[in-house]
Structure 1
Amino acid sequence: MTSDTTPEQQPPTAAAQPSFLRSAAVVAVGMAIMNLAAYGFTLIAVHRLVPEQFGAVTALLGLLLIGNVIPLGLQASGARRIATHTGPGQAALADSMLRAGRRAAVGLTVVSLVLTPLFVILLHIDSVVSVLLVAPTLGCLSLMGSQLGVLQGGQNWTELAAVYISVGVGRVVLGGGALLVHPSLTSAMVGIALGAVIPAAVGSFLLRGSTGGTPEQVKEVLRETIHGTHTLLAFFVIANADVLLARGLLDKQSSGYYAAGVIVAKACLFLPQFVIVTVFPSLASSPGDTARLRRAIQAVAALGVCCVLGALLLPDIVVAVVGGKEKYAALGPFAWLFALAGSSYAVLQLVVYAAIAQQEKRAALLIWIGLIGLAAAAAIILGAHIATGLAGVKVLVAMTATCALALSAALASGLHRQAAS
């Protein structure tokens, strides 16, 4: 009996299809090592530096976090373009991504250098050299962002995990090592800058041989990066707005409780990132596959449910980890609310990346509208002292979770309609 299908039409075998669970596990391990190493650097810094210097390091790390939105945009646009590419020219397309990363690195470095005097004044940092080192660090992160995009889009999960691991190893070995040799702000930033060189070097080695990218391809990557960066910026702003609202609308003690609770929320936000990284290429290559997005949302939500149940059943352990039972015992009974908020934003983050994968142009606008609504509701309820103290903390975190879930539903609904049209 002969088959009616040609070899090209044969369905892919199970061996040809990498297991999603195995891929997710590889990425999860890489990202877990990266995050643990970064936490290790924080522990070294808090023990080796005086509070004033540690506060300055934290502020400069905050600048790096803000500037890292551009590398994340590069990664998203690169992964989408590689994942949706068909036919020959893979090396040329990868080369155009890397060239775009180099251009972005130069631009971001120059902008950061120009803004250095402003950073020094606003952050009250005496060491100009420490602030200057933010610029080359962001440059290396931009190079790495383009490299991660190529690896992620090509579903090279082992190589991707290797770069993630090198991020953490560079931070804890060189950054932490510098602090062990000489505990100072400048030493910390020198170590962080040198540590950022390692993943960029690893990525360059893994992607050697990529050539042939055209100037027009590079321009297309940069244009798409601007859109992706805007959407990610909107997400990161709304994901961190509650801390600012708590600081401005609650009393100092209550805002302190809220800040401690946010540690729980951030842990729940970052925990399922490996799912987002792994599923993003398939979301880009199959924009009409709503079932795939639904399964990804279910996976992220399932991890969120585990986090909420853990915080609900083991509140004392959660409080001990985030700040200590003596100082934050009052946080225990509603620590699960922060886990819910963080898990809700994890779902929103997945849907945001799905919107970037499908190049949904209205996602950023919808998120900005959600931010305005959250700020207005918080100002009305907390500003008018309808809820104060710990009640105000509960209300604000509940509003945050509600806002994230509402935006997730609205964005997912829009993507479904786009796929159906």
Structure 2
Amino acid sequence: MTSGTTPAPQPQAPRKSFLRSATVVAVAMAIMNVAAYGFTLIGSRRLEQDQFALGLQATAARQLATHSGDGAATLADAILRAGRRSAAGLTVLCLVLTPVFMWLLHVDSVVAILLLAPTLGGLTLMGSQLGILQGSHRWTELAAVYTSAGIGRLVLGGGALFVHPSLDWAMAGLAIGAAVPAVLGQFFLRRSTGATGEQVKEVLRETVHGTHTLLAFFALANADILFARGLLDTKDSGYYAAGLIIAKACLFLPQFVIVLVFPSLANSPGDTVRLRRAIFAVAGLGACAVAGTLILPGIVVEVIGGKEKYAPLGPYTWLFAVAGSAYAVLQLVVYAAIAQQEKRAALAIWLGLVVLAVAAGTVLGTGTATGLTGVKVLAGMTSTCALLLSGALATGLHRQSS
């Protein structure tokens, strides 16, 4: 008679499945980001010299990840209907605010600003769809939507610039490109039905909170370029803007980790072990990026704009890699706070922004640090601010869950 004591290798199956999912999503997001960067390069050569959607995506992913029992199709329908309402409202608001946008962005073309409305509407609708796919762990379909978003921007937006290098054509291409992933997402979620009006309102209420938190992060992550423009001279602010290309690349590089881990963080908000592992993964990718800039600074400078213009920035590219990686860690912790519905996260980030503004104004505004020294100091201050906020928010989440 056999005892059956030989352990079956079952634990390997979930791990292999997760690795396959991680690879699929990572490749899709890499394609999307490379395509977006490709469009930026085309635009920079052919032309003369998104947070509500993310909030909706986070809300959708959290609600579906924490949803138990039947009714997933109904909940998905509520999220889709909330997405359609939000997209329609945002589109109308943008159309009404066209004169304001023309003034703020210093754009003379009415057509280009009008086309901004359907572009943002499409991205908002896509955000709701991505949240459903993410929260449902439908990684292959999620990857397909991400890939279509990047390719749509590059092929349609970039192609429009090759046909006619003007802002109007670029915005027309982007508007059509933003519709591609939304149509694909709707196809994947066509069986979602049966939501009630109250369910839709609940999704919208939570979206407002998530959007506020992400808006605070967005403001903090983009404030340094405003400080550079206002407190550094033209040449040095240009160096800083070039360095930000590196920082943004390092911020976007580990986003697939956040996409994969967010549903688990929402479903088990007290799982600090999972959060620490995710932080180590994001930090590890950041360390690789920093090492790359230290080893190959010349290639990095060539990619961001050419050695002729930005050669003096070469020895300091690693500082921007550190800054972008620090913000990537902070972004992960911010999403963990949204998953746990931590209400104080947004306030903490706004306070961090105030502190950074005061520090930058004190050091750069008084002339204590000028030239490339000012560039280095500002990059260092942003990194420090992001890391301190990451530690503070992560500690708060740990205490709340204990």
Partner Cα distance (1:398, 1:392) in 2:
10
Task: Give the equivalent residue in structure 1 for 2:185.
Answer: 203
Q: Secondary structure at the match of 1:133?
A: helix
Cα pair 2:33 2:252 within 8 Å, conserved? no
**Pair 1:42-2:40 in alignment:** yes
Task: Give the equivalent residue in structure 2 for 1:8.
Answer: none
Partner Cα distance (2:194, 2:279) in 1:
38
Cα distance, 1:179 vs structure 2: 2.3
Give CA deviations for 1:289-343 in whole Å, capped at 9, x if unaligned.
1000000000000011111111112211111111222222211112111111110
Moved more, 338-347 or 182-191: 182-191
Give CA deviations for 1:192-215 in whole Å, capped at 9, x if unaligned.
111111100000000011001111
Task: Give the equivalent residue in structure 2 for 1:349.
Answer: 331
Task: Give the equivalent residue in structure 2 for 1:243.
Answer: 225
Q: 2:304 aligns with which of 319, 322, 326?
A: 322
**Pair 1:218-2:200 in alignment:** yes
Give CA deviations for 1:102-141 in whole Å, capped at 9, x if unaligned.
1101110111011001112232322211110111111111
**Pair 1:340-2:338 in alignment:** no
Task: Give the equivalent residue in structure 2 for 1:102.
Answer: 84
Give the counterpart letter for 1:317 in structure 2: I
Q: Secondary structure at the match of 2:368?
A: coil
Partner Cα distance (1:86, 1:176) in 2:
43
Give the counterpart letter for 2:263 in structure 1: P
Partner Cα distance (1:103, 1:149) in 2:
16
Q: Secondary structure at the match of 1:19?
A: helix
Q: Secondary structure at the match of 1:130?
A: helix
How does the TM-score come out when normalised to structure 1? Answer: 0.91
Partner Cα distance (2:195, 2:16) in 1:
28
Give the counterpart letter for 1:118 in structure 2: V
Cα distance, 1:16 vs structure 2: 5.5
Partner Cα distance (1:288, 1:218) in 2:
27
Task: Give the equivalent residue in structure 2 for 1:82.
Answer: 64
Counterpart mapping for 1:293-304 below 5 A: 293-304=275-286
Partner Cα distance (2:173, 2:142) in 1:
23
Partner Cα distance (2:290, 2:46) in 1:
34
Task: Give the equivalent residue in structure 1 for 2:359.
Answer: 377
Change over 3 Å in CA distance of 1:342–1:94 after alignment to 2? same
Q: 1:182 aligns with which of 164, 171, 174?
A: 164
Give CA deviations for 1:16-47 in whole Å, capped at 9, x if unaligned.
66633221111111111111222222233333
Cα pair 2:247 2:325 within 8 Å, conserved? yes
Partner Cα distance (1:193, 1:92) in 2:
30
Partner Cα distance (1:127, 1:332) in 2:
37
Cα pair 2:153 2:174 within 8 Å, conserved? yes
Over aligned residue pairs, what C-alpha RMSD do you find? 1.9
- Count of residues in Structure 1 that have an aligned counterpart in Structure 2: 398
Moved more, 196-205 or 385-394: 385-394
Partner Cα distance (2:158, 2:314) in 1:
32
Partner Cα distance (1:221, 1:339) in 2:
36
Partner Cα distance (2:379, 2:39) in 1:
29
Task: Give the equivalent residue in structure 1 for 2:386.
Answer: 404
Cα distance, 1:180 vs structure 2: 2.4
How does the TM-score come out when normalised to structure 2? Answer: 0.95
Q: Which runs of 5 or more structure 1 residues have no equivalent in the other structure?
A: 2-11, 52-67
**Pair 1:292-2:290 in alignment:** no
Partner Cα distance (2:167, 2:365) in 1:
38
Partner Cα distance (1:47, 1:333) in 2:
26
**Pair 1:161-2:161 in alignment:** no
Cα distance, 1:387 vs structure 2: 1.3
Partner Cα distance (1:300, 1:26) in 2:
17
Q: Secondary structure at the match of 2:367?
A: coil
Partner Cα distance (1:44, 1:396) in 2:
29
Partner Cα distance (1:184, 1:133) in 2:
13
Task: Give the equivalent residue in structure 1 for 2:7.
Answer: none
Partner Cα distance (2:11, 2:368) in 1:
61
Change over 3 Å in CA distance of 1:310–1:17 after alignment to 2? closer
Partner Cα distance (2:13, 2:140) in 1:
17
Change over 3 Å in CA distance of 1:380–1:225 after alignment to 2? same
Task: Give the equivalent residue in structure 2 for 1:359.
Answer: 341
Q: 1:116 aligns with which of 98, 112, 117?
A: 98
Change over 3 Å in CA distance of 1:381–1:50 after alignment to 2? closer
Task: Give the equivalent residue in structure 2 for 1:30.
Answer: 28
Change over 3 Å in CA distance of 1:217–1:122 after alignment to 2? same
Moved more, 404-413 or 332-341: 332-341
Change over 3 Å in CA distance of 1:217–1:311 after alignment to 2? same
Task: Give the equivalent residue in structure 2 for 1:4.
Answer: none
**Pair 1:20-2:18 in alignment:** yes
Partner Cα distance (1:42, 1:396) in 2:
25
Partner Cα distance (2:355, 2:45) in 1:
41
Cα distance, 1:13 vs structure 2: 5.9
Moved more, 306-315 or 99-108: 306-315
